């Protein structure tokens, strides 16, 4: 079960801190995570061809495969599209973290999020690292401070943790994330950081993260934009002092299940906090011939602006859902599609065997008024299935993004 009051510091051997250092007017804007032991690293980065300097730095650290000791994140400035000076600033951040914690610069990860195209006020950042470094600790408050320091237009922090009992050991997994706009499959304008004290080989950790990302962060959509700074980082420091997790074992299945559960939770929290969003939309597609078809259909539903606006208007407009399915690129027979809406207020069928169903508009409205609504689709072509998450699209989204730089 996810513990919502714990986060990045829950696993043994991880410390964190978060503070205001002057990049924003008042809110926390610098966070760091430090491991007492060198941690194995796994990562998934944005697919955008335009990559921010911190992403390129982290890709190099990842390729080295030497392990990681520290991570520093600033919010309020993306350090993207800033030319050579942006790369220099990233390196300076890594060097200052290395000095502060007596590690090597290539054992430090960097992340930045905020406005694109503005050079980092590097003096503030360096002084901020010097100020915050002595405050790192392993308590829950430190993890919460770190989670608060990475958010931008988010309206709440996103953190969680889980503990699992393996055959001969207890291991913990913690995480924090940010993101509320520019969210779309194949990474979004989001950052997610996962820590664990389990003993996981870096290749196995990478395999788990890649597979998990496909079913979590790559299955969410707020507005159809993919950003320049996105990344998911997983760090495993082995501080539980347990046996290595071996693929195919019972321990592996238990650990991977918990790892997936935490990342699903964080991904859902990102979408729940979609800029101006009032509803979380979950699309579950069953009965496709292939997993790929199910994913294409589910992502098309939550990614459609017409579907999003229909949910904002609490309109049971099944036609927009069927339309999105039709241009998804998936293989299915429109003449055997079922569509239902589900929320805590009930279940209603609106389309069956490719034909509209007479339904109560009043009941549909009651169901769609809830802040979480699920679209259930069955196409009866096979046994594959997939789930994607999105949110409605509101007037507030336009206001927030229209004023983002001002």
Bridge partners of 172, per DSSP, are 163
Cα separation of 112 and 64, whole Å?
21
For 152, the 3-state DSSP assignment is: coil
Closest CA to 194 of 186, 205, 207, 204: 205
Cα–Cα–Cα angle for 216, 391, 375, rounded to 5 degrees: 80
3-state secondary structure 153-211: CCCCCEEEEEEEECCCCEEEEEEEEECCCCCCCCCCCCEEEEEECCCCCHHHHHHHHHH
Catalytically annotated residues? 189
Residues 6+ apart with CB under 8 A from 54: 79, 90, 110, 111, 112, 229
Angle between helices 305-312 and 291-303 (to 10 degrees): 60
- Contact between 47 and 232 under an 8 Å Cβ cutoff? The reply is no
DSSP labels, 209-245? HHHHHHHTGGGEESSS---SS-EEEEEE--TT--PPP
Angle at 318 between CA 317 and CA 323, to 5 degrees: 110
- If you search the block for the tokens 């238990």, which residue do you land on? 254
- Going 357 to 358 to 364 to 365, the CA torsion angle's sign is positive
């Amino acid at each position: 079960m996810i513990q919502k009051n714990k986060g990045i510091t829950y696993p043994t051997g991880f410390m964190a801190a978060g503070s205001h250092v002057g990049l924003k007017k008042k809110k926390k804007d610098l966070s760091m995570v430090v491991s007492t032991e060198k941690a194995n690293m796994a990562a998934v980065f944005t697919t955008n061809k335009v990559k921010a300097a911190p992403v390129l730095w982290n890709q190099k650290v990842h390729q080295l495969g030497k392990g990681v000791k520290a991570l520093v994140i600033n919010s309020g400035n993306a350090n993207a599209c800033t030319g050579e000076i942006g790369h220099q600033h990233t390196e300076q951040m890594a060097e200052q973290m290395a000095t502060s914690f007596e590690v090597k610069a290539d054992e430090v990860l960097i992340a930045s999020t905020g406005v694109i195209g503005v050079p980092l006020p590097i003096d503030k950042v360096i002084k901020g690292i010097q100020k915050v470094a002595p405050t790192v600790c392993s308590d829950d408050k430190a993890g919460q401070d770190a989670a608060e320091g990475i958010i931008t237009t988010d309206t709440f922090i996103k953190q969680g943790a889980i503990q699992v009992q393996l055959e001969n050991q207890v291991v913990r997994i913690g995480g924090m994330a940010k993101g509320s706009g520019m969210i779309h499959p194949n990474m979004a304008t989001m950052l997610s950081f996962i820590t664990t004290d389990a003993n996981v080989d870096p290749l196995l950790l990478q395999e788990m993260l890649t597979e998990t990302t496909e079913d979590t962060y790559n299955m969410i959509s707020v507005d159809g934009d993919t950003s320049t700074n996105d990344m998911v980082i997983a760090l495993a420091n082995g501080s539980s002092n347990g046996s290595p997790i071996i693929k195919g074992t019972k321990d592996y299945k238990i650990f991977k299940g918990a790892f997936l559960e935490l990342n699903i939770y964080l991904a859902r929290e990102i979408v729940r906090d979609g800029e101006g969003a009032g509803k979380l939309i979950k699309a579950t597609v069953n009965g496709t011939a292939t997993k790929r078809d199910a994913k294409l259909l589910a992502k098309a539903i939550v990614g459609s602006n017409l579907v999003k606006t229909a949910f904002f208007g609490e309109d049971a407009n099944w036609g927009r859902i069927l339309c999105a399915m039709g241009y998804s690129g998936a293989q299915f027979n429109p003449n055997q599609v079922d569509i239902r809406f589900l929320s805590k207020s009930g279940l209603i069928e609106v389309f069956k065997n490719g034909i509209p169903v007479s339904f109560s508009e009043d009941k549909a409205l009651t169901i769609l008024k809830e802040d979480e609504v699920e679209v259930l689709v069955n196409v009866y072509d096979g046994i594959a299935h997939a789930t994607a998450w999105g949110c409605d699209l509101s007037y507030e989204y336009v206001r927030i993004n229209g004023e983002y730089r001002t």
